[in-house]
Chain A
Amino acid sequence: MFLVVAAGLIVSVVALGCVAGPVLDRPGWPVANPAIAIACWIAALSGTFAGLTGAVAVALLRSPAPGHGLLEWLHDCVHAHRHSGVALAAGVGAVTLFACAVRLARGLPRLWRAMTHRRRHRQMLGLIAREDGEHADVLVLEHPVPVAYCLPSRRGCIVISTGARDRLTAAQLKAVLAHERAHLRQRHHALLLLLDLAYVLLPWLPTVRRAGASLPLLLEMAADDVAARRCGRPALAGALRKLAIAPGAAGALAATGSDGRTLTRRLARLDVPARRLSRARRTAAWAFFTCAIGAPFAVITVVVGLLLPC
């Protein structure tokens, strides 16, 4: 039974961690509906991590394995490891756990520095920027370079430079604000932070690596969709041509990088309205979402159920 569970978990980790990424990254379909694509990426990532956690837990905690009880292990360490497969599984589990711990110990200071940097940025903004008379959540920074970005915090705010404000028409400014508010409302910064954490932990998995490259653009597109629905495509496209909407001082994405052609792709998408996703693809995407999230968790539930009585 345990063998089946462990095999199921490993298969799901391989499927989600190695195969799902390239499949989700196929060009075309995510552009048509970034929201569904984002949901699928999140499902693939959380499924991978859930599966991996489950697999490590099974390897270390199933009844003859060392983690089952430290005292018990100390007592009959030699007896319990008669089966070489058990020792191997426990060893691989421990190594994975150790590797993750090392990565985390290395990556956390960087994440922490990024957070501190962001806090400092916010404080300096409080000192330098002026409040916008019209919108309560907008801060105006006196500078000719046209920039707009959102600053996630308890009371999320949008920063816009005077250069941007002077260049944009009223409709374009509204579109920019709608775009930034969508980022804040949909908590994209939190998603990017989790993504960065995933990258710190498991940079070797293709799904994690590809998510790091694809998700930022998809998040921009999702926010574009909200803004285009509210204020119209021409206004948003015009605004994007005049300024780059920075993803916000999230400070955590330096490790994942980007392809640098994001704006071109976003504009192309706004100029030629994307075809709607076909019904079949929609269904397939949601089926994937359910399986990716559901399978590892279901297996883990089974594992917990089996582990508890012993």
Chain B
Amino acid sequence: MGGLGGPLERAIMNALWEVPDGLRIRELLVKVNEGADRPLAYNTVQTVAERLSRKGLLRRVPDGQAFRYLPTRTRDEHAVELMLDALTESSDHAAMLARFAESVDAQDARHLFDALRERAIDEPGT
């Protein structure tokens, strides 16, 4: 299978996105099984976590005898990537970004402006 969007992967990613420092499999198991009617087995959670780290979604760091798993990127960062992906497919994305820029309120506009300025400083010439 190797799919990413299944309910198991979702549950594990959701649990880990809430804990930025990461969890061991045993801790993750407890968190995933909170309030679940059919608790998952340790091995299942470990296999799925392994698969997610192979796909680059989780990072594994040694922690004593075991490993801690932490997300490589936040949920928001993934959302931004998906949005950019969809936007670059659009034939009219310049017009749409312009409309978005017009429609944000003053405070958001300032955030946007700051972010763009930082980016311009980071990568001059782009």
Contact = CB atoms under 8 A, between A and B. Distances in A.
Contact of A121 (B76, B82, B87, B92): B82
Interface residues of A, number: 40
Contacts of A146: 96, 100, 103
B76 A142 contact: yes
Contacts of A249: 85-86, 89
B90 A247 contact: yes
Interface residues of B, number: 33
B117 interface: no
A25 B100 CA distance: 32
Given A147-B83, A159-B86, A123 B4 contact: yes
Q: Is the interface of B mostly helix, strand, loop or mixed?
A: helix
Q: Which of A145, A243, A247, A258 has its CB near the most chain B CB atoms (within 10 A)?
A: A145
B110 interface: no
A126 B94 CA distance: 27
B100 to A, nearest CB: 5
Contacts of A262: 91-92
B80 to A, nearest CB: 7
Interface of A: 120-129, 141-147, 149, 159, 161, 163, 167, 216, 241-244, 246-251, 253, 258, 260-264
Contacts of B103: 146, 167, 242
B82 A242 contact: no
A126 B86 contact: no
14 contacts: A120-B4, A121-B85, A123-B4, A123-B5, A125-B82, A128-B75, A128-B82, A129-B82, A147-B90, A243-B96, A244-B96, A247-B89, A260-B92, A263-B95
